[in-house]
Amino acid sequence: MDWLAILSGFGVGAIVGMTGVGGGSLMTPLLMGVFKLSSPLAIGTDLWFAAATKTSGSIAHHRLGHVDYRIMGLLLLGSIPASLATIALMHLTGITKGWASALTFSLGIALLLTAVTVAYRSVWHKVGMKLEQVIPQSRKGPLTVAAGLVLGVLVSLSSIGAGAIGATLILILYPRLPTQRLVGTDIAHAVPLTLVAGIGHASLGHVHWGLLGALLIGSLPGIWLGARLTKSMPEKLTRALLCVSLVTAGLKVIH
């Protein structure tokens, strides 16, 4: 039994439980830095970790009626084809040194983007309200598909983006969507996307199954504890700590 992996899963799970984001953006750098996995192997393993941990959350939000299936469907219309195309391109070209470098660079950029979305969460709502005045309702559908396309490529290349970045894009396009439905829709969309991208990476041999199992054993109680700590931990403090971790990891990966 790999106790370090179980403790790592517990720690990431606790952060996800407290903040609602940070799973992929913390797990992938952890897999590379602590467990010394290559970037493709870390990304593939994290995609399966995300799919497994978010499935239960997706079911819970579905039961509570927190999933907007129209928005979810539009996002998937863009993200799934984009993910399949990205994986297909990897298969056709093979995972060369160039691809490995691209994956690592994409990971670093995704980490920094996630830090920005988490740090300025309230600003994005104001941006969305202003854009609502100039974007006709008829254009929101195509723009949502385009947002899904961006997420599909980003998640397939870096395993990051389906959480905080996805929620931010939904918030900008649908600023009047209640928070519960925004979070529920974002999580529900993340499950099929990370699963499709995870299957693609598994077909390339990019999943460390033994390590994945140990991480999941630790993450489940971690998420449970983190959700309860949210009541006693100031939100600004937890988000500030998360942002520092994301920026540090992002800069380290890029360099």
Place of tokens 């390590």: 211
At residue 238, the pLDDT reads 65
When mean pLDDT is compared across 57-66, 90-99, 204-213, 228-237, the lowest value belongs to 228-237
Q: What pTM did the predictor assign? A: 0.85
At residue 230, the pLDDT reads 61
* Closest to 66 (Cα-Cα) out of 191, 184, 189, 176: 184
194 or 110, which is more confident:
194
Q: What is the mean pLDDT of the chain?
A: 85
In this model, does residue 251 exceed pLDDT 80? no
Distance CA 134, CA 17 (A): 36
At residue 239, the pLDDT reads 66
In this model, does residue 125 exceed pLDDT 90? no
Distance CA 47, CA 36 (A): 17
At residue 184, the pLDDT reads 86
Mean pLDDT of 26-52: 89
* Closest to 71 (Cα-Cα) out of 153, 168, 197, 188: 188
Distance CA 155, CA 146 (A): 14
Q: pLDDT for 202-250, tens place per residue?
A: 999 999 999 999 999 998 888 778 767 766 666 666 667 667 666 766 6
In this prediction, residue 156 has a pLDDT band, given cuts at 50, 70 and 90, of: very high
Mean pLDDT of 186-200: 93
What residue spans of 64-178 are helical by DSSP H? 69-93, 97-119, 121-132, 137-158, 164-173
In this prediction, residue 254 has a pLDDT band, given cuts at 50, 70 and 90, of: low
When mean pLDDT is compared across 71-85, 104-118, 125-139, 149-163, the lowest value belongs to 104-118
